[in-house]
Structure 1
Amino acid sequence: MTHSKKYIYLKYTIITALLSIAFITNLSSQQTPAERLVGNWYFDEVSSFATMDTRSRTQMDTIPQLKSQVLNSYRGRRLFISQDGSCSLALANGQTAVFSWSLANDGTLTLTNANGTTVQESVRVLTPNRLVLVPSAKGNARSIIAEQHFIRQ
């Protein structure tokens, strides 16, 4: 059984491509979680609002103005995380908040503003294209959204 040169070349090209993909995937998996966190993240409102608890959802549905206000405060958010330890949260209305950030070994992301106020969130999911943050509850205060989903773009 003989194969044409064209067949052998095609087989060689496919094998080379598969090995290249495996090598690149292996390199990206060797990044630390902090390195994978660096990038531009866009708020995924559909996935995020799906995590809202029933009580909050019911309350928002009964007060349309509140619902609109809450949706608009989250919609269009962009989180920019830099390798130098700085990050910014840009809102759809043009406002931007600047923070420094650090990531602990347990997956706790700490954001610190210029006044020294800190916010902590748990990194629940961190893949090359998806970030899910769970806001830390303090006392009776809790976020209306249980998980903030972001997509890398």
Structure 2
Amino acid sequence: MKLLYHNKPLFYFIFIMVLASGKINAQDNKQHPLVGVWLFEETQSFSQMNEKVNAYLSANPELKTQVLSAYIGKKIIFSANGDYAQVLSDGRETYGKWQAQANGQLLININGTLYEHLCNVAGNKLLISSVKNEGDSENMVPNQYYIKI
């Protein structure tokens, strides 16, 4: 630290580079195809539900109604500044931060919990697939399809 303190031009150079890298990342997000508002597409998404989950929900119609109503009408919002929001049809909202990787990996951090997904954007269509790690519970809708609105 003494080296940087005594070498002010080096310190300012490093400081400016750190600031510039933050601006570059923000500019990249503005151009990222995920930026925008996406509406859950239930037909395709529910058609790929896990058979065990589907059978369990069919045997419990009240629970099935609750689950389906939470998904139908759901919106997710990816902001250029890295903010993430999920708004369910019943008005419940979840906020966090998002980051897309070059390999199609999508990381969403909600209250310190990191969720890992794979995503694919094709025009105004988005597929978000859950990545199941050892010990994770079964995801009810592992492949979620969205349409940009």
Aligned residues: 120
Q: Are 1:78 and 1:91, in contact at CA under 8 Å, matched by a contact in 2?
A: yes
Q: Does 1:42 align with 2:39?
A: yes
Q: Calculate the TM-score normalised by the size of structure 1.
A: 0.73
Q: Deviations over 1:62-121 (max 9, x none)?
A: 1111211111121111011111111100111111111111011211111112x3111111
Structure 2 CA distance for aligned equivalents of residues 48 and 82 of structure 1: 23
Q: What's the CA shift for 1:142? A: 2.1
Q: Which residue of 2 aligns with 1:76?
A: 73
Structure 2 CA distance for aligned equivalents of residues 117 and 53 of structure 1: 24
Q: Which residue of 2 aligns with 1:135?
A: 130
Q: Calculate the TM-score normalised by the size of structure 2.
A: 0.74
SS at match of 1:70: helix
Structure 2 CA distance for aligned equivalents of residues 53 and 95 of structure 1: 25
Give the aligned residue type for 1:121: H
Match of 1:85 among 58, 82, 85: 82
Structure 2 CA distance for aligned equivalents of residues 87 and 47 of structure 1: 23
SS at match of 1:111: strand
Q: Which runs of 4+ in 1 moved over 4 A?
A: none
Match of 1:126 among 108, 116, 121: 121
Is there any run of 5+ residues in structure 1 with no aligned partner, and where?
1-30
Q: Which residue of 1 aligns with 2:49?
A: 52
Structure 2 CA distance for aligned equivalents of residues 116 and 79 of structure 1: 19
Give the aligned residue type for 2:124: N
Rg (Cα) greater in structure: 1
Q: Which residue of 1 aligns with 2:100?
A: 103
Match of 2:145 among 126, 149, 153: 149
Structure 1 CA distance for aligned equivalents of residues 93 and 136 of structure 2: 27
Structure 2 CA distance for aligned equivalents of residues 135 and 86 of structure 1: 20
Structure 1 CA distance for aligned equivalents of residues 54 and 94 of structure 2: 27
What fraction of aligned residue pairs are identical, expressed as a percent? 27
Q: What's the CA shift for 1:140? A: 4.1
Q: What's the CA shift for 1:146? A: 2.2
